[in-house]
Amino acid sequence: MRFVLSLGFLLLCSGCIDDGVGSAPDTTPPTTDAGGSDTSSGMDTSVADTNAPRDTNAPGRDTSSPDTSGPDTSVAPDTSARPDTTPPPDTSAPPSGLESMVRFETLTASHGATDPRWGAELTDIIQHLPRSFGDTYYDADFITYGHETTHGINSHIRNTIGLGGPRKNGFYVLNDRAALVREPNIRKSAVAAYVPASLRGSRFSLYVTGSPDWDDTPLYIYDEWVAYVNGGEVGVGRHGAGLWREGWRDAVAGQLEFTAYAIAVCMAVEAGDPAYFRDEVQFLAFTAWLMRRSMERFHEGAVITDFAWDEQDRFLRDFRENPDGEAMRAFARRVFGAAWTSEVLGF
């Protein structure tokens, strides 16, 4: 066995990506550009946000700093929060109905840089990072390159089109689609209690219990999740296009691990901010949409010899079967529907 509602990579960055094993691609930075300067994002791209999470897939390397504003210390952790007794949202509608409720913003390509080594997915990602960021996110490992660049695009989204009104996080999910999701009023540190021991993977201590400067931004976990999914897309896509030459790589385990963490985020939100959980359709809809995308790409990548790994197979078994995760599985069935959960998550 190998190992996704829109309203409102091991130890390194305050972003992440895993080590690759085997030969790396040509390290010469790409130079081909068919598009010239930034042209089409329709947003202010004159200032690069260097505060985006930096994820390098190299253990122990943390080259990022959080937003200079730091944590919002005005929001104190609510240690007295208990699960809300409000009935859960109605998930009786077909799963496709839930996922179809995500509202995507259009984020057009900012330039036309290309490289025949990249493949379609990495090309898409790179073209959506404004030129004002320079080569901040370049990496010779193309999965890492896609992961890191996703962090830069997400930062750009939340600091441009995400401004105004309640604080929102932004996520780029390829094909000109960006999702904005309002941040719930909980601390990121509250999520750890909902992750069973069997699912506390290699990234848990950095991103869930670590990175305290992001504690007022629980959807920081989603920023990492999206970056892992996009990085996995790059690896699977390049393999499918006959471009993969790097040998074995941990390419898709991260997105599986973060799928479990995303459910834990939802559990913590229901307990700590029940009104948001009940009313913020975009949050659960985007979660459901990204879960499906994450699991589909995971299963596609896990059967590729260069991406196969017994550790991710073990994680998948524990996700679906380990007794200590039954509360998480029961939550997912209740909130997203038993039929949808069985189809998408396999339990």
Q: What would the mean pLDDT of 190-214 be, rounded to a whole number?
A: 97
- Residue 283's CB is within 10 A of a number of other CB atoms, namely 25
188/208 Cα distance (integer angstroms) = 7
Tell me how far apart the alpha carbons of residues 22 and 11 are, in angstroms, rounded to a whole number. Answer: 19
pLDDT in tens, 262-319: 999 999 999 999 999 999 999 999 999 999 999 999 999 999 999 999 999 999 999 9
Mean pLDDT across 48-53 = 39
Rounded to 5 degrees, φ, ψ at 247 are 80, -160
Confidence of residue 186 (pLDDT cuts 50, 70, 90): very high
CA distance 244 to 117: 9
Closest to 169 in 3D by CA, of 298, 45, 336, 53: 53
Amino acid at 7: L
Is 288 within 8 Å of 98 (Cβ atoms)? yes
Poorest-pLDDT segment among 160-164, 171-175, 285-289: 160-164
Strand partners, 169: 181
Q: How far from chain centre, in Å, is Cα 239?
A: 21
Domain ranges of the chain: 95-345
Rounded Cα distance between 231 and 227, Å, is 6
Query: What would the two tokens of residue 127 be?
Result: 């073209």
Average pLDDT, the chain: 80
| 3 state SS for 159-176 | CCCCCCCCCEEEEECCCC
- Look-up: residue for tokens 């913590």? 268
With 0-12 CB in 10 A as exposed, 13-18 as middle and 19+ as buried, what is 77? middle
Is residue 3 very low, low, confident or very high in pLDDT (cuts 50, 70, 90)?
very low
pLDDT value for 165 = 87
The answer, yes or no, to whether residue 4 has pLDDT greater than 50, is no
How confident is the model at residue 23, as a pLDDT? Answer: 36
Digit-coded pLDDT (tens) for 61-110: 333 333 333 333 333 334 333 334 333 443 334 444 789 899 999 999 99
Residue 100: predicted pLDDT: 87
**pLDDT given for residue 98 in this prediction:** 85
Q: Helix and strand tally (H, E) in the chain?
A: 11, 3
Q: Quickly state the pLDDT bin for 120 (edges 50, 70, 90).
A: very high
Report the candidate in 113, 132, 110 with the shortest Cα–Cα distance to residue 32.
113
pLDDT value of position 162: 87
Radius of gyration of the chain, Cα coordinates, nearest whole angstrom? 19
Indicate the burial class of 7 (C-beta count within 10 angstroms; 0-12, 13-18, 19 or more).
middle
The mean per-residue pLDDT over the stretch 230-259 comes to 98
What share of the chain has pLDDT > 90, as a percent? 70
In whole angstroms, give the CA distance from residue 236 to residue 300: 7
Q: Please write the tens of the pLDDT for every residue from 17-36.
A: 333 333 333 434 443 343 34
Q: Which of residues 56 and 251 earns the better pLDDT score?
A: 251
Residue 2 has pLDDT above 80, yes or no: no
Tell me what the mean pLDDT of segment 142-170 comes to.
95
* Helix or strand run (H / E) with residue 318: helix 310-321
pLDDT of residue 104: 97
pLDDT-derived band at 218, boundaries 50, 70, 90: very high
